[in-house]
Structure 1
Amino acid sequence: MKLSDLNIDFIKFKNEKDSFNYKLNDTFFHLKENSLFDSCDINLHIECEKSDSTIKIDFAIDGFISTNCERCLKPIKIAIKSEYQEVLKLTANLELLDSEENYLPVNHQVYNIYDTVYEQICLTMPTRKICETSLSKEKCELNYQSENQDNPVDERWAELKKLIE
C-alpha cells in the first residue's frame, strides 16, 4: 500500500455518489513515521457524495489492531468499529483556505484520506489498552509480590500501625 492509494480523485467520480473499499494492513501504519501502532486488519468503507459546494465523505471502520497490553506487555488484539462523516466545503475564497475548517479549492481534484482515517483509528482505541479490553477478554497474568513476605517491618512503621489500631 502506498500513500497515493488513499487518494480520492473527485474527477473520476462515476456519478455524484461513489463508494470505495479498502483493506488496511500492517503497511498502513508504516506509510508515515512515528505511528502509534504497528499491526492491523481493518476494513474501510467510504461513501462520497459531491454537490456544488460540498463533498460529504462517510467513513466506516471495522477490524482490529494488534498492540501490547499496558499492564503485562502481552500481545493483544483490540477490536475497533467506527462510523463518522467528514464534510469538505468547496470555496474560491483563498482566505478561507488558511482557516482550520475543512475548505478545499473549487478546482481541487484529489483528497488524501490517510490522516483522517489514522486520527479516527486513534480516537476509536480505548484509553487503556489492557487484556480485559482485547478480543480474548483474558485477565492479565501479573506476578505480584506477595504482601506476606518475610521482610522485616521497620520498627517506626510498626509503632505507627499500633496507633491506627
Structure 2
Amino acid sequence: MGVMTASSQKTDLQPGDRAPDFTLPASGGRTVSSAALTGMPYLLYFYPKADTPGCTTQACGLQEVLPKFEADGLTVIGVSPDPVAKIEKFATKYGLEFPLASDENHTVADAYGTWVEKSMYGRTYMGMERSSFLVDGQGVIRNVWRKVKPATHAELVAQAFRDLVSRA
C-alpha cells in the first residue's frame, strides 16, 4: 500500500479503519512512530495545547492509570501542535512519563481529521480537536472519541481497552 496524500486520505476515521502512519519527535528525546508500535496496541490522543487546564487534567488522568495500561501492554502517546521544548516543559512539570509528541505542521492531525475549524468569541481559526484513537496491534482503529471531556477520558479509554483485551 502506497503512502496516501492528505487530499486522498479519509479523515473521518471510524472503528475498523486502518490507522494512518506517523513518525513524530516526542518528549524525553524520543521519536514515536506507528512502525515501532507494530504488534502493540496504542492510544493516540490529540490535545490542543500543553499546560492549559483541560489538557493538564486529561494528561494527568492518563498518567494516573498509565501503570495499569502499561502492565496490560497499551502504549499511550499524546499529540499537540506545540513545539518539543514546550512539550518537554509540560511533561516535566506534571511528571508525565508517556511520550508527548510534537505535530507542529499538523500533518498527523490532518491525517486523523483532528485539525479542524474552531470558533471562540465569534472568531474562527484552525486548531486541534481533543480526540483519541485506540488502535490494536494490527494497526486497526478500535475506538474513536471526538471532543472528549478531559475529566472522563482516562476512564473511557480504560473501559474500551479492557473490552479490547478481553476479546483478544
TM-score normalised by length of structure 2: 0.27
Greater share of helix residues, 1 or 2?
A: 2
Which protein has the larger Cα radius of gyration, Structure 1 or Structure 2? 1
TM-score normalised by length of structure 1: 0.27
The higher relative CO (CA closer than 8 Å, separation ≥ 6) is in 2
